[in-house]
Structure 1
Amino acid sequence: MPVQVGGSKVAEPRARVELSPTAVADKGRASSKKIRRRRQKASAALSRSPMQMLFDTSREIFSASSPGFVAPPDAVARLSGILNDLKPHDVGVDSSMPYFKHADSKVPPRVTYLHFYDCPKFSFGIFCLPKSAIIPLHNHPGMTVFSKILFGSMHLKSYDWANSPPENHDIALENSYGARLAKVNTDAVFDASSETVVLYPENGGNLHCFTALTPCAVLDVLGPPYNRADGRDCAYYDESPYLIGGDEQYSWLKEVPTTFEMKGIQMPRKFSVSA
């Protein structure tokens, strides 16, 4: 029990416990096993391909995804970090591939989608855009989307639906033509040095369009993915600017039919992932 020394309590020294040689050996073996397990886990993590790491992290983060799902900030940062580190060779693409060429000037450049994986919880793949190719303004209903440019540069314009009219503007959020008011979220050029762009079900630029300034590749992770049967079909929009002055920008967006089509290609097995 503690003893009193100069007004302070000091614990009595504990008796020394002597371990038998057998106990010492057992303790040493247990410690060695723990060290080996740690090393095996570390080695397994290092041996995973970048795409396998992307898959494993996406599966974990989107395991509970449903329409409107938003991952917590630390999970968003973790997945964004993996995407930020990806290089074109990690995913088997480079600008010399035919998907990034456009020889016929009489027709618009065609976008190709390289499919890696999809399930009810998430999907990911790469959009390949020749120079001047456009992915028209479209939405991502109930989805969280991570987009990372792997090479090239593109112009990104994105919107979020307006929740209230612009200040000092007494207007309805939907006009008589069926167009809805949307506020510009992003209007800028991005390239491979840009960090991952994340859009959410209700903000962050849920409606966006891409215009390739050079041949470029962008990897998208979506959770949950598009699913027409579940009401998550892709809609396309025309935009008409609504001028208000100042720094904020708004447009009227009206859903329109579209003839936009992409060519879909399954990636080779060597770049596949293990579920």
Structure 2
Amino acid sequence: MTSPFQKAVESAFKVFSRRNGASVTSDSLSELRTNLNKVTKDELRIDPHVLEDKIPKEHEAPVTYIRILEDKLMTIAVFVLRQGKSLPLHDHPGMFGLLKVIHGSVTIKTYTPLDPNKYPVPATLSETLADKYGRNIPVYPSWYEGDKVCTETDDCCVISPNNKNVHEIISESGTAAFLDVLSPPYNHKSMEDCRPCSYYKEISIDSKEPNIRYLVKIKSPPEYWCDEVDYYGPQLPLPS
């Protein structure tokens, strides 16, 4: 019998392969969303010890990564966040993503990039950053979508290339885990189809529109790193 997760993977192969030149739309993602919403941690057979509530010691990783699928079409993985830890604010260039919490709860802080030609960066901000760093610093205007708390009883969250594409994911009240589907995957190697993961921080500035925020790129925060455990869940279906 095919499990909800196996059905979700089949749906993902179907929608992201873009057969017959079909584009990915909200409607075309509906079957995938429906199947993902049924996936549980028990089905994925995650080691209960990995999900234990604990604050990591200095030498312990704040995040555990469970690699499920990595290919040219998409990546599927589970991230386990320890209490008080996060996936830092990061982007998904040209990517679709679906995030389903399967244990605990997370707070997701989300932004949508804005067109800098329509939402120019205040000159005072650019000048302040240039004075501080001795060079011009690119600033990315973004619309702050707000904070959302997601639990394992909530439907999956969806990002698209132009909507809710930058976010931070925080576990505040104990260990949390979520299933993550991304297509196309990050690509740090090929210049021809490069999709690196960039990290950001928000620059505080007084604004007439409180939801317009300004982000700058930063190096990967040193406090963020992952260890990895094996996947023991259902066998993945092959693409048809």
Change (3 A) 1:272 1:87: same
C-alpha deviation, 1:111, in angstroms: 0.5
After TM superposition, the structure 1 = structure 2 runs for residues 55-204 of structure 1, keeping only pairs within 5 Å, are 55-64=9-18, 71-93=24-46, 96-98=48-50, 100-102=52-54, 104-106=56-58, 110-163=62-115, 171=122, 175=126, 176-203=136-163
Choose the corresponding residue for 1:241, options 204, 207, 215: 204
The whole-number CA distance in structure 1 between the counterparts of 2:87 and 2:52 is 14
> What's the C-alpha RMSD, in Å, of the aligned pairs?
2.6
Q: Would you say the 8 A contact 1:145–1:220 is kept in 2?
A: yes
C-alpha deviation, 1:185, in angstroms: 1.8
The whole-number CA distance in structure 2 between the counterparts of 1:222 and 1:80 is 13
The whole-number CA distance in structure 1 between the counterparts of 2:78 and 2:166 is 18
Choose the corresponding residue for 1:208, options 151, 164, 167: 167
- Percent of matched pairs sharing the same residue: 23
Check if 1:257 corresponds to 2:219.
yes
Give 1 or 2 for the bigger CA radius of gyration: 1
Alignment length, in residue pairs? 220
Choose the corresponding residue for 2:5, options 30, 51, 55: 51
Q: Would you say the 8 A contact 1:99–1:112 is kept in 2?
A: no
Is the helix fraction higher in 1 or 2? 1
Q: Which residue of 2 is the match for residue 20 of structure 1?
A: none
Q: Would you say the 8 A contact 2:121–2:141 is kept in 1?
A: no
**Structure 2: gaps (5+ residues):** 127-135
The ranges of structure 1 where at least 4 consecutive aligned residues each deviate by more than 3 angstroms after the TM superposition are: 99-109, 164-167, 169-172
**Structure 1: gaps (5+ residues):** 1-46
The structure showing larger relative contact order (alpha-carbon pairs under 8 Å, at least 6 residues apart) is 2
Letter in 2 for 1:58: A
The whole-number CA distance in structure 1 between the counterparts of 2:176 and 2:195 is 27
Residues 180-222 of structure 1, C-alpha deviation per residue, up to 9 Å, x if partnerless?
A: 221112312221122111000111x111111102211111111
Q: Would you say the 8 A contact 2:65–2:80 is kept in 1?
A: yes
Change (3 A) 1:237 1:170: closer
The whole-number CA distance in structure 2 between the counterparts of 1:104 and 1:262 is 12
